[in-house]
Amino acid sequence: MKAVVITTPGGPEVLKLQEVEDPEVKDDDVLIKVEATALNRADTLQRQGKYPPPKGESEYPGLECSGTILSLGKNVSRWKVGDQVCALISGGGYAEKVAVPAGQVLPIPPGVSLKDAASFPEVACTVWSTVFMTSKLSSGETFLIHGGSSGIGTFAIQIAKYFGVKVFVTAGKLRFSYMCNQCC
């Protein structure tokens, strides 16, 4: 398979498309044929040599992806070959295939394209786990979001509004009026 490889720490020019080994599919993994991936800050830091992948994980960048399941580990029962999914991963999204623990795979929300779904897992999991699971934000409360024009900020605005939360946002001058007119 082909993957984007970081040849040496540096700028974007150090990224090279190369032929590499297929990922190993463990008993609790699914193998995804990657349709799309997203660019996260951690990917740029990894490219610069400032964010090494976790030990034992893929050395290729890409912390989220979408695609079609090609095969299943022997312990996987929730998914089936051919399912279109997105996933939050420890690396490897910049490859044609990636092995992912089945618990990190998500169904694609209705109305979201396979390409758009590639950028869904990181923001959705971050906002859901910190704002709703940990902080227990609920309907009728007020929520101040700093950085409302970021990917996480825009998702937080949308999901909070969906759950009946009053939202206040801070953002840079150029985007503030756009955000307030469109989302708040």
Q: What is the CATH number of the domain that holds 102?
A: 3.90.180.10
What's the total number of domains in the chain? 2
Residue 60 lies in a domain: yes
103 and 21, same domain (yes or no):
yes
The least confident of 55-64, 66-75, 131-140, 145-154 is: 145-154
β-partners of residue 106 are 86
pTM of the model: 0.84
Give me 154's structure tokens.
């825009």
Q: How confident is the model at residue 174 (pLDDT cuts 50, 70, 90)?
A: low
Q: How confident is the model at residue 136 (pLDDT cuts 50, 70, 90)?
A: very high
Residue 62's domain spans which residues? Answer: 2-112
Distances, alpha carbon 174 to alpha carbons 158, 178, 183, in Å: 20, 8, 15
Q: Which pLDDT score is estimated for 122? A: 93
